[in-house]
């Protein structure tokens, strides 16, 4: 018999891998019940050369999963990952919600080329053929295109018996808040409330902030020692996991190759050596709560464009209240001391200093 999720959680607490938290432990009761329901359903069986179903499993009337929401650093993604890893079924997938919706939009575009009357149906059918469980990290709706199709897509997934577990920083009623034509989105909110158990994680502790508060967040010089220290921070915060996140900005794609649970890690040249602008950096700030930016070089007139982008990036991070960890060739005040724009850079250096403070890490 599979070990209960609470027992696995307690073992990790005893080993010092997790801190005990009653709010987190309470969520595991719901996830364990969901896991048992999934594992009792008929599974995919061999059929010739392919794997097919003997019959389509059905779920009892009622809830189809869990909507887990709460503030940043409450352990939502950790709990979902624990559930996902120990759900004893083969047909399951964990994906960042933003990435999933980009896949859906691409699939819809291809389906419409075939002339079908309802492009949602074949796209939803394709998802249903692949999974019994979908785990979404960070459900948020910021795009009008997503808002217009997500309701019908999820309705078909629920009808087919797909179980959905998702995390979010906000309750369902605040999704797509103040968005264009939001009244058309309201039925989706009602669908979530009807089909998912909506649970606010009651933890009052932000573990990421605790880990950062009082810790070094600016490393200079950007050498092997800095790299090793940042590796340790990343492994501590992410468990050594990562996935790619692709942001769509005005028809373009911005790739974040190393992303996990609201955190991303990037080299200076990935974000400031490419022709990115304010819209790209605002999209980045909207998608992450912590940016680890490595290998910021000494800047001068020969790197004017890169310096200008760095200033724009820091401004976006500062205004968005984003946590930052940086490795750089010089201290902030000595990063850009000559060339056009060096005077204006003093504000950027000041902001970098402020963003290193313990108070900033706790905000």
- Give the pLDDT of the chain (363 residues) as one tens digit per residue: 578 999 999 998 888 777 788 888 889 989 999 998 888 866 544 333 333 333 334 444 567 799 999 876 678 888 998 999 999 999 999 988 878 888 898 899 899 999 888 999 999 999 999 999 999 988 888 778 788 899 999 999 999 999 999 998 889 998 888 788 888 889 999 999 999 999 988 655 555 555 555 578 899 999 999 999 999 888 888 888 888 888 878 778 888 899 988 889 999 999 999 999 888 888 888 888 899 999 999 988 788 889 889 999 998 888 888 889 999 999 988 888 776 666 678 888 888 888 887 566 544
The two tokens of residue 37 are: 């329901």
What is residue 19's predicted lDDT score, i.e. its pLDDT? 79
Q: In 3D, which of 214, 213, 220, 216 has the Cα closest to residue 332?
A: 220
- Residue 72 · residue 169 · CB < 8 Å: yes
Q: How far from the centroid of its chain's Cα atoms is residue 133's Cα?
A: 18
- Residue 268 · residue 293 · CB < 8 Å: yes
- Residue 90 · residue 43 · CB < 8 Å: yes
- Residue 193 · residue 294 · CB < 8 Å: no
What is residue 198's predicted lDDT score, i.e. its pLDDT? 93
How far, CA to CA in Å, does 150 sit from each of 33, 142, 154, 155, 214?
26, 12, 6, 8, 41
Q: Is the Cα torsion angle 89, 90, 92, 94 positive or negative in sign?
A: positive
Model confidence pTM above 0.85: no
What is residue 26's predicted lDDT score, i.e. its pLDDT? 87
Task: Report the half-sphere exposure of 137 (CA within 13 A, side-chain side).
Answer: 27
Strand partners, 67: 166, 198
What is residue 289's predicted lDDT score, i.e. its pLDDT? 85
What is residue 125's predicted lDDT score, i.e. its pLDDT? 95
């Amino acid at each position: 018999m599979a070990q209960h999720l609470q027992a696995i959680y307690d073992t990790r607490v005893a080993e010092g891998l997790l801190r005990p938290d009653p709010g987190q432990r309470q969520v595991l009761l719901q996830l364990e019940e969901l896991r048992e329901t999934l594992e009792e359903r008929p599974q995919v069986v061999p059929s010739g050369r392919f794997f097919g179903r003997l019959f389509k499993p059905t779920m009892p009337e009622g809830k189809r999963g869990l909507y887990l929401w709460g503030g940043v650093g409450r352990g939502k993604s950790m709990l979902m990952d624990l559930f996902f890893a120990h759900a004893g079924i083969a047909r399951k997938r964990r994906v960042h919600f933003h990435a999933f919706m980009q896949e859906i939009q691409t699939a819809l575009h291809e389906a419409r080329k075939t002339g079908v009357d309802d492009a949602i149906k074949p796209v939803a059918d394709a998802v249903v053929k692949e999974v019994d469980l979908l785990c979404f990290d960070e459900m948020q709706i910021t795009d009008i295109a997503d808002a217009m199709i997500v309701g019908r897509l999820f309705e078909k997934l629920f009808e087919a018996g797909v179980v959905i577990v998702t995390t979010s920083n906000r309750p369902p009623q605040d999704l797509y808040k103040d968005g264009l034509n939001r009244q058309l989105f309201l039925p989706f909110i009602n669908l979530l409330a009807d089909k998912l158990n909506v649970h606010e994680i009651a933890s009052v502790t932000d573990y990421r902030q605790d880990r950062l508060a009082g810790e070094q967040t600016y490393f200079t010089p950007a050498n092997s020692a800095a790299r090793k220290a940042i590796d340790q921070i990343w492994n501590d915060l992410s468990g050594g996991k990562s996935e790619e996140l692709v942001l769509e900005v005005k028809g373009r794609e911005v790739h974040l190759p190393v992303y996990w649970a609201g955190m991303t890690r990037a080299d200076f040249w990935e974000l400031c050596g490419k022709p990115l602008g304010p819209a790209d950096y605002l999209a980045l700030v909207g998608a992450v709560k912590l940016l680890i930016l490595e290998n910021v070089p000494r800047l001068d007139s020969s790197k004017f464009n890169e310096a200008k982008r760095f200033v724009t990036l820091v401004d976006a991070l500062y205004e968005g209240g984003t946590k930052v960890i940086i490795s750089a060739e010089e201290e902030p005040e000595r990063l850009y001391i000559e060339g056009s724009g060096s005077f204006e850079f003093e504000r950027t250096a000041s902001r970098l200093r402020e963003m290193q403070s313990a108070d900033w890490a706790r905000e």
